Structure 1
Amino acid sequence: MSTYVLVHGAADRGWCWHLVADRLRALGHEVVAPDLPCDDDTAGFAEYAEAVVEAVGARTDLVVVGHSLGGYTAPIVAERLGARMLVLVAAMVPEPGERAMDMLANTGYQDETTDPDALLDVFYHDVPPELAAQAQAGERAQSTTPMTRPWPLAEWPRVPTRFLLCRDDRLFTADWLRGVVRARLGFDPDEMGGGHYIQLSRPVELAERLAAY
């Protein structure tokens, strides 16, 4: 069985994967879902990747999964550890030398969220209310340091890569992400229903999709 290395996104914590982790373990897999140092102003994506590598330790047969901004950290981890597979879920897709703060503009992203009070509806519209409340209560500060540094890889890692798009995502819309994945990774993404926090809204389905890979 595999070890799934689950990498969270901005201002988040490994907790967001706990329901997916439960299902993957029930299917016989091992799971590592560390907290990244996202509130540390001295840390960039290289340091984020180092935190994941340390958490993985000597484990092998790795499937690295990155969500949202975790799309910048997960490929670094996959390359360093020689992962068996890399899976991006509702994630940003970096290019060599690109700063995360520039990726959205470079890909024609249109931010339709202008009302801060609407963020709950954007991120958690299909998440059970009690889980959405727990997620919000655990949100952490997100340093801007990683966004200002060029992505450190010279090329996309030579690791088999899949992309799972969430058709009901209100943050990274399906139409935009389809174009990003085709342009930057050269293939069409896989798709499932659900919003941006798919690991909380449809954890069993997501886990089974990951296990099927």
Structure 2
Amino acid sequence: MAYLTIVFCHGAWHNVHFFDKVIAILEPLGYRCVTVPLPSASGRVPPTTSLDEDIAPIRSAVLKELDAGHDVLINAHSWGGIPASTALEGLTKPERLADGKTTGVIKMTYVAAFVLPEDMSLQDFVGGPQPTWIVDDDGNLIHKGDPRDIFYHDVDPKEADEWTAKLKSQSLASFTTKTTSAAWKKIPAEYLVCENDRAVPAVFQDIMIGKMKEAGADVSTTRLSTAHSPYLNKPDAVADFLKTSFAKSSQ
């Protein structure tokens, strides 16, 4: 198998351990897996002040793998699709080859992820501040409502409780900063639609995929009967999606 690194970018309020089950399947098969902790989702006080503070660690992680001789496949979940798609300017395989390099980002993979064009924030996309976004005294966002019902309604109840306890507050600025790039316009993409998602309903996922196609993106879709967190309750299906996505990019 060609040298490959899968770089995982998590969603809002979550952390890198969200991907543990999928990584445990992929690594024994020879896939190198790297996770990127995103500062906006850490509950940090003071919170991050722009999307740049999430873009920087993603770009740094990708460049480290490229410089080590590995092509990169990006996997972004939920809100993580926004900084991941904005962090890759100039890192596509054709651009890197033209610059005398041998590696590049070969595929974008999205799982129930937000995929936005340039000059748009998540707040812009959803039509303004949402009633479920509550800003705490530190300037971070907490999510109104029960995360078990929004994120984990088809996850084992005990595991759903464990993940609910792990959630951190999210920087408001990460939802209001506009994107500056859209890597999916240059890099082939695969999108896993989570059909029973209550956090990012499938209808919105389909709208984003439609907009990608209208913009000329090379994007394919796979559909899975799951809610927002298939990494927890259907890790084999997510691993298969990623393996298939890599196989297509190698043809």
- TM-score, normalization: structure 2? 0.74
Aligned partner of 1:172: which letter?
A: V
Structure 2 CA distance for aligned equivalents of residues 25 and 202 of structure 1: 17
Structure 1 CA distance for aligned equivalents of residues 83 and 151 of structure 2: 21
Is this contact kept in 1: 2:9–2:84, CA < 8 A? Answer: yes
- Report SS of the residue matched to 2:12: coil
Is this contact kept in 2: 1:6–1:17, CA < 8 A? Answer: yes
Q: Does 1:166 align with 2:201?
A: no
Aligned partner of 1:191: which letter?
A: R
Q: For 1:120-155, what per-residue CA distance to the aligned partner results, in whole angstroms no more than 9, with x for missing partners?
A: 122101112232222112111101012222112177
| Correspondent of 1:42 among 43, 48, 52 | 48
| Correspondent of 1:132 among 139, 157, 160 | 160
| Correspondent of 1:10 among 12, 22, 40 | 12
Q: For 1:96-143, what per-residue CA distance to the aligned partner results, in whole angstroms no more than 9, with x for missing partners?
A: 10121111229xxx999xx94443122101112232222112111101
Structure 2 CA distance for aligned equivalents of residues 154 and 207 of structure 1: 25
Distance 1:184 1:104, change over 3 A: farther
- Report SS of the residue matched to 2:159: helix
Q: Partner residue of 2:235?
A: 203
Instruction: Give the Å deviation of 1:159.
Output: 0.8
Distance 1:203 1:127, change over 3 A: same
| Correspondent of 1:123 among 151, 157, 160 | 151
Structure 2 CA distance for aligned equivalents of residues 168 and 139 of structure 1: 21
Q: Does 1:101 align with 2:103?
A: no
Q: Partner residue of 2:86?
A: 76
Q: Partner residue of 1:147?
A: 175
Q: Partner residue of 2:221?
A: 189
Is this contact kept in 2: 1:64–1:78, CA < 8 A? Answer: no
Q: Partner residue of 2:109?
A: 87
Structure 2 unmatched ranges of 5 or more:
93-104, 133-142, 246-251
Higher strand share: 2
Aligned partner of 2:77: which letter?
A: H
Q: For 1:42-93, what per-residue CA distance to the aligned partner results, in whole angstroms no more than 9, with x for missing partners?
A: 3432221211233345322110011110110111234454311001110112
Structure 1 unmatched ranges of 5 or more:
none
Aligned partner of 2:179: which letter?
A: W
